[in-house]
Structure 1
Amino acid sequence: MSKQPILEMKNVHSGYGSIKALKGISLKVMPGEIVAIIGANGAGKSTTLMTICGIVPIEKGEIYYDGKLINKVSAEKLPTMGLCQVPEGRRIFPRLSVMENLRLGAFHRDDTDQIMKDIQHSYEMFPILGERKAQQGGTLSGGEQQMLAIARALMTKPKVLLLDEPSLGLAPIIIQQIFDIIAKINKEEDVTILLVEQNANLALQAASRGYVVETGEITLEDEAQSLLTNPKIREAYLGE
């Protein structure tokens, strides 16, 4: 594993106008890792991902991706560089078909033959999407929409995938399927993953390392297994 982080935040402050959401976040993600960010609602987890993506403006600090400073890179350019987010709430295009949603994931690419091969690969990875390829995205179940959102992001050919609350609103059996897919993407597609997840137990089981965010600050970082067995974490986030 490379010693150079593929993604790094250094003392990052950001917010929404007068509301300071992040107050000096520093974290790093090494190539090939799954890193989890856990914390309570409103702690700043999703804002961390949106700040990386340039959706929430950075006020202070530095964000590096693949060795490059990306503070001033526009949100729409980042997927072309290999950094892609699957947003909270999925945000698929409800009136477009499954296939049209996937094609939009490759909007910046011009390798038409490979795009079609990658769409086919999406159907192999997510067979239900293949069965529903002509169906409007809005008619899919929540779990199917989450699969479509992940598959669409993979069409950008990412090096790093930012996943925001992939289990939100899904039935337990579907959540397990989604997390199996996340592990597969990490191992078989060689995609590094930064995962924000309300379900701390699942997130830490999937990850190699984790960060705990409280009121816009990182209060703890450790190996995921150590966080899983930490009594304070178990009490605060694992319902014990």
Structure 2
Amino acid sequence: MTAATATQTPILELRDVVTSYGRIQALKGVSLRVMPGEIVTIIGANGAGKSTTLMTICGITPPQSGAVFYKGEQISGVSPDLLPPRGLCQVPEGRRIFPRLTVRENLEMGAFFRRDKDGVQHDLEHVFSLFPVLKERRRQRGGTLSGGEQQMLAIGRALMSRPRMLLLDEPSLGLAPLIVRHIFSIIERINKQEGVTILLVEQNANLALQLASRAYVMETGRVTMEDEARALLSNEAIKKAYLGE
């Protein structure tokens, strides 16, 4: 973190968060910060607690103890459906689009709480400019799209809420490398050109660390390392454990 960002208020902060599934403790005192305008990634093996961290932030699995803060306000216990209107939106693992709705209807669902019709139409055209294939398929049912197109649709749906911050859960999962590169280039554009802060959970550690400015490493429900992403790319232990080197 730079000296400039150190003086800012984090847009997102977790303080000693503990989350459990029944008797199984999934998060064991997780603390992390994301500053406005950053791309921060969480890397780790399956079962490390990465996705649980995002679900805890969104209130789907509320923390047993500790606290989650968004823009300086505690949001632990806030209903998940109240967070997108406040600018915090998640793109879940597995896309979870509405398969029977058309592409356009799926995108409009992302703006369900908005009443500015002209603004919604403007943002719809913006999403189509980011993902031209969605414009071509706008009358097609979401369930008939390819995996890559569904991931684009899930990101586009989130953008329709005009987020200040996006939580992205495994956007590369099950996709061909060429599609992954395209989606990651769009994520970078959303961050750099539109100023959307991003917290990225990703098993493709190499690609995630190339994209992010900072990173957290999770193991068995704990944050075990935090550093600049470029430093972790050259860390021998990280190379061996996560980068296949």
> What TM bracket, shorter-length normalisation?
over 0.9
Q: Which residue of 1 aligns with 2:88?
A: 83
- The reply to whether residue 191 of structure 1 matches residue 196 of structure 2 is yes
Q: Give the whole-Å Cα distance in 2 for the aligned partners of 1:119 and 1:33.
A: 25
Q: Which residue of 2 aligns with 1:93?
A: 98
**What's the offset of the Cα at 1:209?**
0.1
Q: Contact 2:19–2:56 at 8 Å: present in 1 too? A: yes
SS for the counterpart of 2:143 is: helix
Structure 2 residue ranges without an equivalent (≥5): none
Q: Which residue of 1 aligns with 2:241?
A: 236
- The reply to whether residue 161 of structure 1 matches residue 144 of structure 2 is no
Correspondences of 1:203-222 after superposition (within 5 Å): 203-222=208-227
Question: Residue by residue, what CA displacement relative to the aligned partner does 1:125-179 show, whole Å, maximum 9, x if unpaired?
Answer: 1100011100000111100000000000000110010000000000000000010
**What's the offset of the Cα at 1:188?**
1.2
SS for the counterpart of 2:64 is: strand
Q: Give the whole-Å Cα distance in 2 for the aligned partners of 1:151 and 1:190.
A: 16
Q: Give the whole-Å Cα distance in 2 for the aligned partners of 1:185 and 1:90.
A: 18
Q: Which residue of 2 aligns with 1:135?
A: 140
Q: Give the whole-Å Cα distance in 2 for the aligned partners of 1:165 and 1:15.
A: 21
SS for the counterpart of 2:26 is: strand
Give me the identity figure in percent.
66
Q: Contact 2:62–2:77 at 8 Å: present in 1 too? A: no
Residue 113 (structure 1) aligned to one of 105, 108, 118 = 118
Q: Which residue of 1 aligns with 2:50?
A: 45
Q: Which residue of 1 aligns with 2:35?
A: 30
SS for the counterpart of 1:58 is: coil
Correspondences of 1:3-18 after superposition (within 5 Å): 3-18=8-23
Task: Let me know the Cα RMSD of the aligned residues.
Answer: 0.7
**What's the offset of the Cα at 1:203?**
0.4
Q: Give the whole-Å Cα distance in 2 for the aligned partners of 1:199 and 1:125.
A: 23
TM-score by length of 2: 0.97
SS for the counterpart of 1:9 is: strand
Q: Contact 2:36–2:197 at 8 Å: present in 1 too? A: yes
Q: Give the whole-Å Cα distance in 2 for the aligned partners of 1:33 and 1:63.
A: 18
Q: Which residue of 1 aligns with 2:157?
A: 152
TM-score by length of 1: 0.99
- The reply to whether residue 227 of structure 1 matches residue 236 of structure 2 is no
Q: Give the whole-Å Cα distance in 2 for the aligned partners of 1:68 and 1:77.
A: 14
| Amino acid in structure 1 at the alignment position of 2:191 | N
**What's the offset of the Cα at 1:72?**
1.7
Q: Which residue of 2 aligns with 1:70?
A: 75
Paired residues, number: 240
Q: Give the whole-Å Cα distance in 1 for the aligned partners of 2:19 and 2:125.
A: 39
SS for the counterpart of 2:93 is: coil
**What's the offset of the Cα at 1:235?**
0.1
Structure 1 residue ranges without an equivalent (≥5): none
**What's the offset of the Cα at 1:232?**
0.1
**What's the offset of the Cα at 1:15?**
1.5
